[in-house]
Every structure is written in structure tokens, then in C-alpha cells.
Amino acid sequence: MTASALPDSPPPRPAPQGARIEISNLSKTFGSFRAVDDLSFSVEPGRITGFLGPNGAGKTTSLRMLLGLIRPSSGAATINGVPYASLDNPMQVVGSALEATNFHPGRTGRDHLRVLAAAARVPDARVDELLETVGIAAAAKKRAGAYSMGMRQRLGLAAALLGDPQVLILDEPANGLDPEGIRWLRGFLRHLSSEGRTILVSSHMLSEVEQTVDDVVIIANGRLVRQGPISELHGERRSLVRTTDARRLAQALAEAGHPAQQTGDDTLEVTGDDPRHIGDTALAVGLPIYELRESKSDLEDLFFQLTSAPENRNRNLGDDAPAGPTDVPQGGGQ
């Protein structure tokens, strides 16, 4: 049906395209403590980027600077080339959920969103649409104080989406979600990024976001330790093979130009080869294959190695951790 056949229906709302986030030499010190240290990275539209680091690495502090909630000691954080505080229509550009606990406990989930919607001149219909989208419509009239952590996460996500933003910034959004909720979140974020939006998601566990993100930015001790597509973290492809005579198959693979290492009487590991070549070679020498699977490097181990080098160890466990908060949030736009 064409649009002209439905003169009263509103035109379909085009999904907003993403915006680029640029963090340039960003630093934040609290007293003499350097929470974020000369951090630079960029986040691209149409991709989900995991912002990762152990507890106390400086993720939330960086996100708060990006959102204009605290002032950088030096450096800059921009969205589409401008600091958050200079955006003309911030809610349409950036939606964020930094804490899932920041709700008036006596107010219903729906009222919480309606207050925010009114302030941003977003119609109430969008509130109901979003409650449905994030899966808490049935609890819309319950007090937010009675919500589970997972429900508060969903409410926070709905609040972040009120302005239909180009950029979504979520601090540990999987906290408190059950496995079904995590799977739902993964699909939902994938859908939003496929519309061209820019999604930045923080987590202290690489394994938690491993299946969700396209790119990673890993920080430790306030500093960047790795940035790039998550596929590059996996390193070279390896296959594990189980057969009856691993030595003979390893030899046959070597003769066919595919170096393999015997790891047991009946097991071997082949580096960088297409599993089909392994199967073909085994068939050619008449050996059965009982198991053939790709072995991915353990990303959680890699994450630990990257972030636990002596210079990157968690400062909260060391002697130089700060005594306590010394910088009061300044509110948006400061």
C-alpha cells in the first residue's frame, strides 16, 4: 500500500543514523589520583563497541566525561565532533543509562518515563511503546522500588531510548539480567546497530559481551591497552582433531603443507588451516575423524593477561587507591 492511500497515517519514522564518538587524550585526576590517563579511541556508527576493563579501570569516569557529567582534567570527548554540552538536541543524539538504581522508588516505571518524556517533549505514546519494547509493559504501573535489578536495567534502557537517539551509551547493561534477558539484550542491541546507530557498552567481563560486540576498547589503570575488532582478539585459527593415529595424520597434514602438532595419542592441533583440508587429508590416508572443532583462544584469559600486567594491575587493590570520592558530579553540561 502506498503512503498516498493512507493520508492520515504518520510517515514512517526513519531510524536515525549513528554518530561518531571520539575520545582524544582524555585524562581525569581526583586529587593526586589519575583515574583516566591520556585515553584516546573512537567508536564508529553501525557497530557495537564493548568498553572493557576490570573494576576501577576508569570506564564509568570516562563515560561520565563523555556525557558532560564531570569535567575532564585534560583532553576531549566529542560526539559528531562536539562535546556533549554543546549538542543542540542531546536526547535525539545520545541516550545513556549509567546506573540502574537512579529511579524514584515510589514512582511507577511508566511515570518515571513520562516525567522524562515531558521534559524532552516526547509524546506519552512513545513511553508506552518503549515499555512494550523493553519487555516491562506488564509492570508499567508497579513502583520502580519494587522492580528487580533486571527490570530496572530495562527501564533504564527505555529511558535512554526516549529521544530515539543516534548513540546509545550503556554502563554494564547486562548486570542483573537473567540468561534470557541477556540474550534479548544482545538481539535488541544488534537490531539498533543494524539501523546505523552507534552503541557503546561497558563491562568488566569480556566473556559477558563477547557474543554481543563488534569492536572492543580495553582499558586498565585508566589507560588504553587494546582497541580493534573482537575477531582480531581471537588470533590465528586453530583446529583440534581426534583420530585413531594422530602421528600418522600429523605427518600426512605436514606433507600436504598443513603444519600440525600432535597433542596426544589420538589428538592433534592444526594451526591456520581450513577444517575441510583436514577432513580431506584424513580421508586420503584412510583415517577416521572422531572429532574436529575449531579451538578459539580463551578470551577471558587474554583479557586477564592484558589487564593484569604489573603496570595495569587493579589500583583498587593496591596502596595508591584513593581514599574516597573527592569530586562531586557537576550535573549535565558542565
Ligand X SMILES: Nc1ncnc2c1ncn2[C@@H]1O[C@H](COP(=O)(O)OP(=O)(O)OP(=O)(O)O)[C@@H](O)[C@H]1O
Which positions touch ligand X (CB under 6 A)?
30, 33, 35, 53, 55-61, 204, 315-316, 321-322, 325-327
Q: What share of the chain is helix, strand, coil (3-state, %, to 5)?
A: 35, 25, 40
**Whole-Å CA distances, 86 to 11, 33, 37, 77, 333:** 30, 28, 24, 11, 8
CB of 206 to ligand X, least distance (A): 12
Strand 267-271 and strand 238-243: the pairing is antiparallel
- Spacing of C-alpha 234 from chain mean position: 17
Alpha carbon distance, N-terminus to C-terminus of the chain: 49
DSSP string, 121-134: T--HHHHHHHHHHT
Question: Which residues in 66-141 belong to E strands, given as ranges?
Answer: 74-79, 94-97
CB of 64 to ligand X, least distance (A): 8
Q: Select from 193, 198, 222 the least CA-distant residue to 307.
A: 222
Please report how many Cα atoms fall inside a 13 Å half-sphere around the Cα of residue 206, on the Cβ side: 26
Q: Select from 318, 308, 315 the least CA-distant residue to 36.
A: 315
Compare residues 69 and 270 and give the one whose CB is closer to ligand X: 69
Compare residues 227 and 267 and give the one whose CB is closer to ligand X: 227
What DSSP designation does 322 have?
-
CB of 329 to ligand X, least distance (A): 8
Compare residues 199 and 252 and give the one whose CB is closer to ligand X: 199
Cell of 100: 540502574
Compare residues 235 and 318 and give the one whose CB is closer to ligand X: 318
Spatial contact of 315 and 307, defined as CB atoms under 8 Å apart: no
Compare residues 41 and 166 and give the one whose CB is closer to ligand X: 41
d(CA 45, CA 39): 20
CB of 68 to ligand X, least distance (A): 15
CB of 233 to ligand X, least distance (A): 19
CB of 183 to ligand X, least distance (A): 23
Place of cell 564531570: 70
CB of 305 to ligand X, least distance (A): 18
Compare residues 36 and 282 and give the one whose CB is closer to ligand X: 36
Compare residues 194 and 326 and give the one whose CB is closer to ligand X: 326
